[in-house]
Amino acid sequence: MNGRMTRRGFGLLATAAAVSAAAGRGVAQAPAGEPIRIGFSMPLSGALAGNGRPALLAQQVWAEDINARGGLLGRSVKLVFYDDQSNGANVPGIYTKLLDVDKVDLVISSYGTALIAPAMPVIIRRGMAFVSLLGSSTNEMFKYGGTANISPVGRRMNVDFAKGFFEIARGLNPTPATLSIAGLDSDFSNRAMESARWQAREHGIRVVYDRAYPPSTVDFSPIVRAIRSAAPDLVFFASYPPDSVGLLKAAGELKLTAKMLGGGMVGPQVTAIKAQLGAQLNNLVCWDVYAPEPTMTFPGTAAFLDRYRAAAEAKGAETLGLYAPPLAYAQMQVLEQAVTRAGSLDQAAIGAALHREAFPTIIGELRFDQTGEWVEERNIYIQYQGVTGNDLAQFKQPGTQVILYPPQYRSGQLRPGFPAA
């Protein structure tokens, strides 16, 4: 094509490419030369594997899609990855091996803050562009200019993360006056709890219980008993998958009640946990990143989910794909577009491209600030409603994970009280 393409023209082409890639369609010239190697670690075992394995499958779907469309810069792409076992201590060695031994051309992150932060010193030292997945303001301490983070939490997680939970609670009658907070002593959860404290002050709500528990905790009964004794109107948990299950099971066994319960829980989004808890999820108000509601449809999302679910069924993997997979595919779309805009594998050029223009993706148009966070945070809070039994098919349909916040995506009304009547 001769001449200079306008920004509008580029955006339209990028959107078309995003939709085409998600659908796995398109006829293109076969890639030539050596493949472009993209290296990363991923939790394929350990506590975070329930999100890591689906994320990897989404990335593999993207690799198939882009190779079917002619590759990246006219070359095929190849994913080079290792299991970090959900252990941050393994991460620096993996990225050193990827760069020194495997000689990868590009790098992306593992899943989650605990596995992104340990990679950052290696990435910065080598001057690599870096697109990360579901970190929580990981770059705040590093202030590295060559990164973009695929996570809706935004730059002010310690303020904004819990905002939706408290905005929803404002609609309760009478207005809630007391709050209990409990969460895992880890970076993500501590930031979530800090946000809950900040929002409680803003809304004039008194905190009657506040505790961070160690990662070794397996018995959550003492925490739930203490919260029950405090009799709060609101309960805000900030937890990772294993402890989310433990907290909800303890809440059920000890008959913990509240006007609203949930918060920053990572776990209910995981397919296996949805199947395990079933109707126990009803009325839980929980942070999330995507829900299959009619208010949250973007070009390419449905086509991607069809592709992902077919691949997951063939491999015997988790088949919902509603949490990490859409964001993992968007992670690869952002990397693809940044490389294309840079026109080469020059890391400085790719890093600069991450901050110049918007990126059309299957989770909507994304724009990153100079820290690599979304210019506009998009923490959504959903409520599980009408869950019956343990059939996963119900979670693919609208109305089961009703979006209550933010207002532009709201798809239903709050059902007060936990547990569900």
Q: Domain check: are 312 and 265 in the same one?
A: no
Alpha-carbon separation of residue 351 from 78, 356, 371 (angstroms): 20, 10, 11
pLDDT of residue 28: 59
Residues 288, 302 within the same domain: no
Q: What is the mean pLDDT of residues 21-35?
A: 63
The residue range of the domain holding 263 is: 158-293+380-409
**What residues contact residue 8 under an 8 Å CB cut-off, 6+ apart?**
none
Q: How far is CA 314 from CA 60, 241, 317, 391, in A?
A: 13, 25, 8, 19
pLDDT given for residue 7 in this prediction:
33
**Residues 264/183, Cβ–Cβ less than 8 Å:** yes
pLDDT at residue 30 in the model: 72
User: Quick one: 279 and 360 in the same domain?
Assistant: no
Q: Are residues 224 and 306 in the same domain?
A: no
In a domain, 258, yes or no: yes
Confidence band (pLDDT; 50, 70, 90) for 15? very low
Tens-digit pLDDT profile for residues 245-266: 999 999 999 999 999 999 999 9
pLDDT at 137: 85
As a whole number of angstroms, the distance between CA 97 and CA 176 comes to 52
Q: In this prediction, what percent of the chain has a pLDDT beyond 90?
A: 88
Residue with token string 């939709």? 19
Domain assignment present for residue 229? The answer is yes
Check whether residue 239 and residue 387 sit in a common domain. yes
Residue 415 belongs to some domain of the structure:
no
Which pLDDT score is estimated for 318? 83
pLDDT band at 189 (very low <50, low <70, confident <90, very high): very high
Residue 375 falls inside a structural domain: no
Query: What is the per-residue pLDDT across 382-409, written as a single tens digit (0 to 9) for each?
Result: 999 999 999 999 999 999 999 999 999 9
> For residue 174, is pLDDT > 90?
yes
Q: Are residues 258 and 404 in the same domain?
A: yes
Distance CA 310, CA 290 (A): 19
99-143 pLDDT per residue, tens: 999 999 999 999 999 999 999 999 999 999 999 999 988 998 899
Distances in whole angstroms, Cα of residue 158 to Cα of each of 145, 192, 212, 344 = 21, 6, 15, 37
Q: Are residues 127 and 36 in the same domain?
A: yes
Task: Give a yes or no: residue 134 inside a domain.
Answer: yes
418 falls within a domain: no
pLDDT at 181 over 50: yes
Q: Is the Cβ–Cβ distance between 238 and 196 less than 8 Å?
A: yes
Give the pLDDT mean for 224-241: 97
Q: Report helix angle 241-253 to 221-230, nearest 10.
A: 60
Q: Does residue 114 share a domain with residue 162?
A: no
Model confidence, pTM: 0.88
Give the mean model confidence (pLDDT) for residues 272-290.
Answer: 96
Higher pLDDT, 22 or 368: 368
Tokens of 338: 């940044």
Residue 360's nearest CA partner among 340, 383, 380 is: 340
The domain that holds 282 is classified in CATH as 3.40.50.2300
Residue 5 has pLDDT above 80, yes or no: no
Quote the percentage of the chain above a pLDDT of 70.
93
Overall domain count for the chain: 2
b/e map 125-158, b = 16+ CB within 10 Å: eeebbbbbbbbbbbbbeeebbbbbbbbbbbbbbb
Lowest mean pLDDT among 84-88, 152-156, 303-307, 317-321: 317-321
Whether residue 14 has pLDDT greater than 50: no
Distances from the Cα of 178 to the Cαs of 26, 135, 200, 236, 319, in angstroms? 56, 30, 9, 11, 39
End-to-end CA distance of the chain, in Å? 63
Residue indicated by tokens 């800090």: 194
Q: Judge if 129 and 193 occupy the same domain.
A: no
